Amino acid sequence: MKHFLLIISIISFLSGNSQINNIAEKLGYDKDAKLLIIHGDDIGVSHSVNIASFEGFKNDAITSGSIMIPSPWVKEVAEFHKDNPTYDLGLHLTLTAEWKNYKWNGVMSSNEISSLLNEENEFYDNTMDVALNADPEEVRKEIQAQIDYSKLIGLNPTHIDTHMGSLAVNNDLWKVYIEVGHKNKLVSMVTKTRSLNLFDEGFPMPEYIVPVNDIYMLYPGADREFLEAAVGENIANTLMVNDIYKYDDWYKLYSSKIKSLSPGLNVFLLHLGYDNEELKGVTIDHPEYGARWRQLDFEVFNSKEIKELINEENIKLVTWGEIRDIIYGD
């Protein structure tokens, strides 16, 4: 099956635009400023992802990143943070292990979180099993343990988000996610679409939440109409025929979205890594978000051209840490 690309645009449907304008002004910008967090996902999952993400921070290619605490290379991230404490790092709260031959389980003992584990004592490889099986109170224990462990190894997280959206699969887990973030004075990344679907009369959106206006990431499986709208018919034909990820196509996808950013808080979700043997092994049989995919994310956002474009569009780069300071104080 061919895989096509688009950038998912999670568009604002709520009437709470004043919250977006308010955070812009509190950060010192005009109320209609275009704010952007360039966010590196999955830090800690492998050495390749780590070193590409570290380089992204040093090159100002990303302004933020989030760490998968249960994954095997997390202590390397703690060492990086020790030497570079000013970079904005949060936690990519993890309840799944999706790779074919590369697995992990929770920070908590398995007997404490049995509803989160499969028969091999590993996290499920998909979010449907999380939705069907996860006990919300076991989820609460595990994500709190991930936060606690991050601090134990010397990290100072600014925010939380949810790996594969596993904490957004139902209202019960979503409530746990929001409550745990607030308890720990961490910004919980929330999109406007999830605000519509997961906050309700029983659990309305708290005033301390600053929802993201738009969030963009490359995503497999786009149909032809969306692909053509994003990159044009010729590039769409190339992708559909060859199913090969190329730099020029990647750049055009991202640059078109940079040019169309709306005022408010926006996020680009990147997956950085080097196309080397380690990452090819980790992501085997999974070209989506695989080694080539992550190499291209790295190359585009480390390029001079993309940085110049962001500057030309008068986009203001911000961090989760700055937003946390607004919400919870220094």
Q: Express each pLDDT in 188-235 by its tens digit.
A: 999 988 888 899 999 999 999 999 998 998 877 543 444 555 555 555
Q: Which amino acid, 156?
A: N
pLDDT of residue 236: 47
Q: 């950060």: which residue's tokens?
A: 27
Question: How would you classify the pairing of strands 214-220 and 5-9?
Answer: antiparallel
Query: What total of structural domains would you count in the chain?
Result: 1
Report pLDDT for 16: 43
pLDDT for residue 195: 83
CA dist 122 and 98 (Å) reads 10
**Amino acid sitting at position 239:** L
Residue 213: CATH number of its domain: 3.20.20.370
Task: Give the type of residue at 212.
Answer: V
CA distance 199 to 96: 23
* Residues 196, 30: Cα–Cα separation, whole Å: 26
pLDDT of residue 235: 54
Q: Mention every residue, 6+ apart, whose C-beta is less than 8 A from residue 232.
A: 252
Domain that includes residue 314, residue range: 5-328
Low-confidence ranges of the chain (pLDDT < 70): 1-21, 221-244, 330
User: What separation, in Å, do the N-terminal and C-terminal C-alpha atoms of the chain show?
Assistant: 50
What's the pLDDT score for residue 230? Answer: 54
DSSP 101: S
- Quick one: CA dihedral 14, 217, 299, 82, positive or negative? positive
Q: In one letter, which amino acid is 238?
A: T
Q: How far apart are the C-alpha atoms of 246 and 265, rounded to whole Å? A: 29
In terms of phi and psi (left: phi > 0; alpha: psi -120 to 50; beta: otherwise), the region of 329 is left
As a whole number of angstroms, the distance between CA 247 and CA 258 comes to: 16
pLDDT of 287: 86
